[in-house]
């Protein structure tokens, strides 16, 4: 098992963070098997592209809400980490208060 759950959509409230605001969150280690994805589909070309992170944040974006860790952005990076036999990923984690 790579992820805790493969989801399709964001169950947490909209946070409104910009790319610049995400960049202010220091990355931390997250176990892949603790993540719930927010996308059920991926693009194989993006997964295999050598420069797939060239235009985006180097670290995936994770939202912590109601005790769960949701992988909002970075599915391809997380899968590449799993393909390289890594169980830990460095990600930026935004903690949202429970509603």
Give the residue extent of every domain in the chain.
1-9+20-28+83-92
Average pLDDT across the chain, whole number: 88
Phi (first) and psi of residue 36, to 5 degrees: -110, 125
Per-residue model confidence (pLDDT) at position 22: 94
- For the entire predicted model, the pTM comes to 0.87
pLDDT digits (tens, 9 = 90+) for 54-77: 556 689 999 999 999 999 999 888
Sheet holding 27-31, edge to edge: 5-6, 35-37, 68-73, 61-65, 88-95, 27-31
Model confidence at 43, in pLDDT bands (50, 70, 90)? low
Whether 47 shows a pLDDT value over 70: the answer reads no
């Amino acid at each position: 098992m790579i992820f805790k759950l493969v989801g399709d959509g964001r169950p947490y409230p909209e946070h409104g963070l910009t790319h610049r605001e995400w960049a202010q969150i220091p990355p931390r280690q997250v176990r892949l098997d603790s993540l719930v994805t927010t996308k059920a589909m991926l693009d194989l070309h993006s997964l295999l592209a050598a420069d797939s992170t060239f235009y985006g944040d180097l670290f995936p974006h994770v939202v912590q809400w109601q005790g769960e860790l949701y992988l909002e952005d970075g599915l391809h990076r997380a899968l590449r980490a799993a393909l390289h036999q890594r169980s830990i990923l460095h990600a930026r984690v935004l903690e949202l208060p429970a509603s």
